[in-house]
Structure 1
Amino acid sequence: MLRHALIIEDEILIALEVEVLLRDQGFTSIDVADNARDALDLALRHRPDLITADYRIVGGTGVDAVSAIMAHLGPIPVVYVTGNAASVSSGGSNQVVEKPVSPTRLARACQVATQSAA
């Protein structure tokens, strides 16, 4: 089964780290965007099963990017991977993992997010 993830992150090393961790979680297709416009374009092209988003990205926030995506596609599980956890809310299918990224915490957050959305 193809599982697609969208990583919204403007720090390439963190995006690569998150990509490796998501592949370990069974995601077989991954897009990376560093700004809200590209994130929306990629999400519309390949509807993600999961989104990871940083709070601060090029020209805006990951929260705004996620809101724009969901306005077009409806609810999608989200894991915010951020150094600014107080700026995003968790709950429902949204989870928050603080940087530096712990593989165990990210794996658990992805599981909770996707199970909550099911």
Structure 2
Amino acid sequence: MTLRIMLVDDQDVVRAGLRLLLDGRGELEVVAEATDGRRVLETALRHRPDVIVMDIRMPETDGVDAITELRGHWPADFGECPAVLVLTAFDLDSYVYAALRAGANGFLLKTSSPDELAAGISVVAAGESILTPSITRRILRQYIADGPPITARRRDPGTAKPDSAVACARDRLGELTARELDVLRLIALGYSNLEIAGELDLSEPAVKSRVARLLSKLGLSNRVQAAIVAYETGVATFSSG
């Protein structure tokens, strides 16, 4: 099956390069582009991509705001919201942390190889996350210790909206079963469904079902948000795993 890709970047040369790389692969097709975060929701609704590959730092409306709008306004009758794979030039960046909290399915550095990018797209399209443990833990460790970064955003801090999804999820942890908490901890450690199945002696379909159930109970969009909640609440720790 061919995956439909939407590119979001304010630089024409970057979008052209990404299109050239991705369209050259039979399993990927670039169906839409946007030059700014303001047009992400509108363009995605028109073209229905499977995955949105998005720069995080853009003028006018950055990737964090674009992801927040996409997650908050995607119509239920349109089916599943597109997965979002963030591209960034910086592996320690408050924008990346904010994008993960807002609902990005993961991130890759702009220095990633074409094969890594293509693989990342396939992973998030399948409902998994690009959650490289070493880099993600560094980001979470830095920003959880200091609190969610607000000053890095280009808006007036007084107008910033609280991250309601992650905040509400913290209050819903008590609804999870002991087994679901085990799954949540392993998600935070970067385990895939197959690896979780091996660790907990479950079938892969059973793990997939438990992941979907815990995300639903917590009111979260994806595994990355679940990992953030796990670290922020102590379900997972930086010394575990």
How many residues in Structure 1 have an aligned counterpart in Structure 2?
A: 118
| Whole-Å separation in 2 of the counterparts to 1:108 and 1:3 | 12
Q: Runs of 4+ in structure 1 displaced over 4 angstroms?
A: 89-93
Query: Among 99, 107, 113, which residue is 1:102 paired with?
Result: 113
Q: Report if aligned partners of 2:86, 2:104 keep a CA contact under 8 Å in 1.
A: no
Greater relative CO (CA pairs within 8 A, separation 6+): 1
Q: TM-score, normalised by structure 2?
A: 0.43
Greater percentage in strand: 1
Listed one character per residue, the Cα deviations across residues 30-89 of structure 1 (whole Å, up to 9, x for unaligned) are: 211111222221112112110011111121211211221222225321111111343324
Q: How does 1:38-53 map to 2 (within 5 A)?
A: 38-53=39-54
Structure 2 unaligned residues grouped into runs of 5+? 75-79, 129-207, 209-241
| Whole-Å separation in 1 of the counterparts to 2:67 and 2:17 | 20
Q: What is the match of residue 68 of structure 1?
A: 69
Query: Among 75, 81, 88, which residue is 2:96 paired with?
Result: 88
Q: TM-score, normalised by structure 1?
A: 0.81
Structure 1 unaligned residues grouped into runs of 5+? none
| Whole-Å separation in 1 of the counterparts to 2:68 and 2:21 | 24
| Amino-acid identity (%) | 28
Asked which structure has the greater CA Rg, the reply is 2
Indicate yes or no: 2:113 matched with 1:113. no
| Whole-Å separation in 1 of the counterparts to 2:49 and 2:88 | 19
Q: What is the match of residue 34 of structure 1?
A: 35
**CA root-mean-square deviation:** 2.6
| Whole-Å separation in 1 of the counterparts to 2:65 and 2:90 | 15
Q: Report if aligned partners of 1:80, 1:95 keep a CA contact under 8 Å in 2.
A: yes
